[in-house]
A and B are shown apart, each in its own frame.
Chain A
Amino acid sequence: MRQTKRRSIHIPGGTSILASLISIGIGLVFGLILLVILNTKAAGGAFVSLVTTGFRSSDKFAKVLYQAAPLIMTGLSVGFAFKTGLFNIGATGQYTVGAAFALIGAIQFQLPWYVCVLLSLIGGAFWGVFPGLFKALFNVNEVITSIMFNWIAMFAVNLTINNLPMMLAKYWGGAQMDRTANLAQANPSALIPRLGLDTLMHSNYMNISIFIAVIFALIAWVILSKTTFGYELKACGYNRNASLYAGINAKRNIVFSMVIAGAFAGVGGGLYFLAGTGQYTLLKQLLAAGFNGIPVALLATSNPIGTIFSAFFVSYIQVGGDAMQPDFVKEIIDIIISVIIYLAAFALLTRELLSRSKMHREEEAESVASADAPAEKEEVSQS
């Protein structure tokens, strides 16, 4: 019994990183094979640009960082909920509401950027309340609530933006009716500061959002690993009944977990749209950015620090994928990522085997040691 408990909680970090790296390697090889099948002549060059573009020039690297920031946030959102045993498929809705709160603050109320980021956090948290509360109070599956609220978010945001005349680009002299105002025209103080990084890296995309995202990842790590609250959240995720028995208020923790997850996703939306390089377009489709948080979180096995690296990786090969055009479709990147995620299933298995064999070795050592000194055995089983 003691062994199974130890196995599920203490999976060694080293093996899990190794497993992720193996999946990435196989995924990339799969991508290469796909490229060769589709267009043998252009495959080699395309693959090289896929794996090297991100590091090739400073402006490409800036683009990687720019895209990684919202990915870190949505990845944190999904991962944080995973830790509590909840599947937050609603990151895209929370992302959308966060973006809308930030943009309304920026354009309609002309607020500075840090207030807008805070607003996006509140917006996302507000949208996270619903799946959490409905799960806790009415026992409605959080997956279905999240899906429903994704659509409600998108329609509600479009409705609101249409009814705030200052929001649309047309008010500020733009030509388009279907998107929000260009921030550089509407309110330059709402743009996330660039601190000269843009001239340093020769890219309009560069700003401090990546640092903000990393700080949030550290916050998530502190909450989960260093606080009683985080311990309670994880306990609910591992075994809800056991945590109830231990006197943990599972219902309250479900709501808090979803609210925090929502806040992360909301900040992601804020960071992306406050960069000033993308305008929110009034479409009748869900934003893909929120869904991309799912593979990021899975690749990082929901570890907040790992999320930074997995988001960076996903963003990196996306930039590489853009460079493969027009010889290849950039959706090949999605295929590679999906293969990597699918392999994560294998990875879990291999990880289990690896840690099991490691434990076996430890146990042998333990039994040898205990044969020599029986007193030591007492100590080991107590710890």
Chain B
Amino acid sequence: MSILADIFSATILFMIPLLLVALGGMFSERSGVVNIALEGIMIIGALCSCLFLRALDDSGFGPAHPQTAMFLAIVVAALTGAVFALLLAFASVNLKADQTIGGTALNMFAPAFAIVLTWAIQGQGQTTILIPTWSRITQETLGVAVKQNFWQAFLFKSFYQTTIWAVFLFVIAAVVLYKTRFGLRLRSCGEHPQAADSVGVNVYRMRYAGVFISGMLGGIGGLAYTLAAGSAFQSTVAGYGFLALAVMIFGNWKPLNILGASLFFALFKILSSYSGSIPFLPKFENIKASEYIYLMLPYIVTMIVLILTSKKSRAPKAEGIPYDKGRR
């Protein structure tokens, strides 16, 4: 039973960054800007928030008020991610540049910048930023009595504030996109910017907003990934930004589908790391290093699902095309 709790809690832990970042990508693409820079945005968000957490840990504020500090770190991740994303918005909206070029530049910049900055702050060769242990929410934090059962393992083994915020942000994202005037305008800019412009919507501003929101969510996602991946930030998010892009397409650019897609992908990913201890999974004893079969599985399954659902897949019509007022 406890292994089941472990699997569930690990699945949710890894699902959160995918969900947040894919939602971020959704906002950007729905406004018409292909955001391939999610990977870099995640790294910048994680870098700044982890440095911030270290600073709070050193100053003594962190250990004294752990969850307030954590909340502030999330804000830092969101803001730095968003500011970094503005570079993409500037290139693709103002300069009308190819959006993949700008995104690639940012993806290349972010990990290198993270390493350079970490060295500059922590000294030569120190490329990891340790995350303070107080960042986790435990039963002590909430004042609940310590018990050893399924729910304890499920809820508190790896519980961070990012999980709570992800749930909030998911609901807000869905409501904003479908139930507000802003969401309607944003979507129209991704479908037919000329039409949107003709009724007085400022396409440039909407696209800036879309990229800005995607930067916020991407930055928080970067922090969430770092918390999920281990106890330190090592200037990488291991391709999660690209995976989130895949999850977004898999989720058909719709919030609820993205939720399902990220859960699906995270579950398969966790199954691969627990494959040894799950009794009913085949063990492939004749094959050496059979763990690679399970590691491949999430990617293969996603591919198959994408092919099966490709008929229904519909990208925002105007994504990737710079909007030029003078063009018909």
Binding site for B on A (CB under 8 A): 34, 38, 87, 89, 134, 138-141, 143-145, 147-149, 151-152, 155-156, 158-159, 162-163, 284-286, 291, 294-295, 298, 326, 329, 331-335, 337-339, 341-342, 344-346, 348-349
Considering only residues 98-140 of chain B, those with a C-beta below 8 Å from chain A are 98, 100-102, 104-109, 111-113, 115-116, 119-120, 124
Closest CB of chain B to A317's CB: distance in Å? 13
The proximity string for B residues 238-263 relative to A, scoring 1 for CB distances below 8 Å and 0 otherwise, is: 11001101100110000000000000
List the A side residues contacting B296 at CB < 8 Å.
151-152, 155-156, 159
Is B196 in the interface zone, CB < 8 Å from A?
A: no
A338 touches B112 (CB 8 A): yes
List the B side residues contacting A87 at CB < 8 Å.
100
Closest CB of chain B to A382's CB: distance in Å? 26
B300 touches A162 (CB 8 A): no
A163 touches B287 (CB 8 A): yes
Among A285, A326, A338, A339, the one with the most B-chain Cβ atoms within 10 Å of its Cβ is A338
Closest CB of chain B to A35's CB: distance in Å? 10
CB-CB under 8 A for A163 and B288, given A341-B101, A342-B106: yes
User: Among B87, B242, B292, which residue has its beta carbon within 8 angstroms of that of A159?
Assistant: B292
Q: Using C-beta atoms within 8 Å of the partner chain, give the interface range for chain B.
A: 35 or more
B292: nearest chain-A partner, CB-CB: A159
Q: How far is the CA of A145 from the CA of B120 in the complex (A)?
A: 38
Task: Kindly specify which of B175-183, B201-209, B301-309 makes contact with the partner chain.
Answer: B301-309
The proximity string for B residues 32-46 relative to A, scoring 1 for CB distances below 8 Å and 0 otherwise, is: 000010000000000
Decide if the interface of chain A is mainly helix, strand, loop or mixed. Answer: helix
Q: How far is the CA of A140 from the CA of B311 in the complex (A)?
A: 9
Considering only residues 298-328 of chain B, those with a C-beta below 8 Å from chain A are 299-300, 302-303, 306-307, 310, 313, 315
Can you sample 27 A-B contacts with CB below 8 Å?
A89-B36, A134-B306, A140-B306, A140-B310, A141-B249, A147-B239, A148-B246, A148-B303, A151-B239, A152-B303, A155-B296, A155-B299, A158-B289, A159-B287, A162-B288, A163-B289, A329-B115, A332-B112, A334-B108, A334-B112, A338-B105, A342-B101, A342-B106, A344-B97, A344-B101, A345-B102, A349-B95
B104 touches A284 (CB 8 A): no
CB-CB under 8 A for A339 and B105, given A156-B292, A163-B287: yes
Other contacts beyond A34-B116, A152-B300, A345-B91: 17, CB < 8 A = A138-B307, A143-B36, A143-B245, A147-B242, A148-B303, A152-B299, A152-B303, A155-B293, A156-B292, A162-B288, A284-B295, A335-B109, A335-B112, A338-B106, A338-B108, A338-B112, A348-B98
A-B contact count (CB 8 A): 136
A145 touches B96 (CB 8 A): no
Q: How far is the CA of A335 from the CA of B105 in the complex (A)?
A: 9
List the B side residues contacting A285 at CB < 8 Å.
238
A156: nearest chain-B partner, CB-CB: B296
CB-CB under 8 A for A346 and B95, given A334-B109, A339-B109: yes
List the B side residues contacting A140 at CB < 8 Å.
306-307, 310, 313
A335 touches B310 (CB 8 A): no
User: Among A148, A155, A326, A344, which residue has its beta carbon within 8 angstroms of that of B292?
Assistant: A155
By Cβ-Cβ distance, the 5 closest A-B pairs, closest first, are A345-B97, A334-B112, A338-B109, A162-B289, A342-B105
